[in-house]
Amino acid sequence: MKNSTTVEKLFAEFYNGRDKQVANQLLAGDFIDHSASPGFENKQNLVDWIDWIVGIFPDNAVELQEVFVDETGLKVIAIWQGKMTHTGQPFRGVSPAGAKVLINGISIYGFNDQGQINQLWHQQDRLAMVEQIMGPIKLG
């Protein structure tokens, strides 16, 4: 399987399909999420984080918009957009009120020689997400 196909499968079957077996298959045992908070960088924490998001946004769906592969073939860059509705658990103390949330992000996946994802770097517009749920942040 090509590494870009692996990322597409991760999005379709794990992030959107919620299939944890796919995560266990595609993510290496030594997987590390370089963007996670200290102490939350491993494979199980990523699985738990997806469960947490789905608990808050049960209809969470992530659409791949662009996929790029570096010249070595060992890094795959994914530009994505998440669409969800806050109808599940409270988010940062805010009870669900049906807020529609649209979030844009980019993820970089690193691969080992066996074709498994062993590294992840990601950024998403968390401020936009918070503002769509809680309203504009007032500065000053």
Q: What pLDDT is recorded for position 105?
A: 97
Question: What pairing do the DSSP bridges indicate for beta strands 75-85 and 61-69?
Answer: antiparallel
Token pair 């509705």 is found at 85
Residues 74-114 pLDDT 10s: 999 999 999 999 999 999 899 999 999 999 999 999 999 99
| Whole-number Å distance between alpha carbons of 43 and 71 | 26
Residues 8-45 pLDDT 10s: 999 999 999 999 999 999 999 999 999 988 878 999 99
Q: What pLDDT is recorded for position 106?
A: 98
Q: What is the DSSP string of 23-82?
A: HHHHEEEEEEETTSPTT--SHHHHHHHHHHHHHH-TT-EEEEEEEEE-TTSSEEEEEEEE
- Confidence (pTM): 0.92
Give, as one character, the DSSP assignment of residue 105.
Answer: E
Segment 123-129 mean pLDDT: 93
| Domains of the chain: residue spans and CATH | 3-134 (3.10.450.50)
